[in-house]
Amino acid sequence: MGAHPHPRGGGSHVRRGRDVPALVDAARGGDPRAVARLISLVEDGDPALPEVAAAMAARAGTAQVIGLTGSPGVGKSTTTNELVRALRARGGRVGVLAVDPSSPFTGGAILGDRVRMQDHATDSGVYIRSMSSRGHLGGLAAATPQAVRVLEGAGCDVVLVETVGVGQAEVEVASLADTTLVLLAPGMGDAIQAVKAGILEIADVFVVNKADRDGADATYRDIQGMIALGERAPGDWRPAVLRSVASRGEGVEEILAAIDKHRAWLVEHGELVRRREARAAAEIEAIALATLRSRISSLREGTALSKLAAAVASGELDPHTAARNLLDGLEVQGS
């Protein structure tokens, strides 16, 4: 799978269900265009999406998912780039989902992480995709969990998810990743921000990047001190705190070693299964809610919702009874 910059929406013309098996077969064979089209189907909420998901289900849970988050400017893309290099040296296939802020005009991703990761453009064992958050809070695009499944189905051994890094809303990556890395940098007030944003609770590994700068030791000590104050039961994971200078490739092997150690802990304590089941539950819930929203939207175009709204406004019905009537109508519509 080459890391070529694939334009968004590349699969929008692939609408017919009979195209999906061919796309899935090609993606499993490592065809980057097929992977790009499948992820575009996911992003666009294509009607063929259930068929794509069914075809990819057999490989669920085969990829290690690593989340990277942190404030803008801490070096997430540079660190991701170096982690890809180190993981490829181990021989595995690597997928990267770089979730960028959305352009308010086009809805497209505007940071262009793929431009910054062109070192891997000719590597057939790497697939890099920028995804637009499209205003979705939490630092992730709504389609990210299903995009991870596409990359798993395409044979990726590791999927790196680099989030938008918008401060207090970026903790959502923890619900998607097996291991979450939080990157900090000296001189940015990141230690205080970590406490405010609740990041201490979601980080499995802290990385003080740009550790050659003034203040790196203080940032390192601050994070260590905050971890020491946290309550942990015997046997609980204690987040690792590491230093790196990603722009020079320094500290990358130590980061991978910490990820390996955390994975071993996850397996030993049954936490890997628990996290993945929680992730699946959240994904099922999100799909069900999206389906409900679309059905309610279709009811808005009819008369059922407007009649209930009129009844509530006039005092004939209370809103709870009206909501139950609405849900009953949805059940009839879905049966």
* Cβ within 8 Å of residue 241, ≥6 positions away: 205, 206, 208, 220, 223, 224, 227
pLDDT score recorded for residue 196? 54
CA distance 196 to 190: 10
Q: Which two tokens stand for residue 46?
A: 């294509």
SS (H, E, C) 251-282: CHHHHHHHHHHHHHHHHHCCHHHHHHHHHHHH
pLDDT score recorded for residue 332? 65
List beta partners, residue 161. Answer: 67, 97
pLDDT tens string, the chain, 335 residues long: the values are 665 444 334 444 444 444 888 999 999 888 999 999 999 888 888 888 889 889 888 888 899 999 998 887 888 889 999 999 999 999 999 999 988 654 333 344 444 444 555 667 678 899 998 876 554 444 455 688 889 999 999 999 999 998 866 554 456 677 789 999 999 888 766 556 555 556 677 889 999 999 999 999 998 998 898 888 877 888 899 999 999 999 999 999 999 999 999 999 999 999 999 999 988 888 888 888 888 887 777 776 667 888 899 999 999 999 999 999 888 877 766 55
CA distance 152 to 68: 18
List beta partners, residue 67. Answer: 161, 180
- Which amino acid belongs to residue 290? A
* Cβ within 8 Å of residue 273, ≥6 positions away: none
- The answer to whether residues 24 and 55 touch, using CB atoms and an 8 Å cutoff, is yes
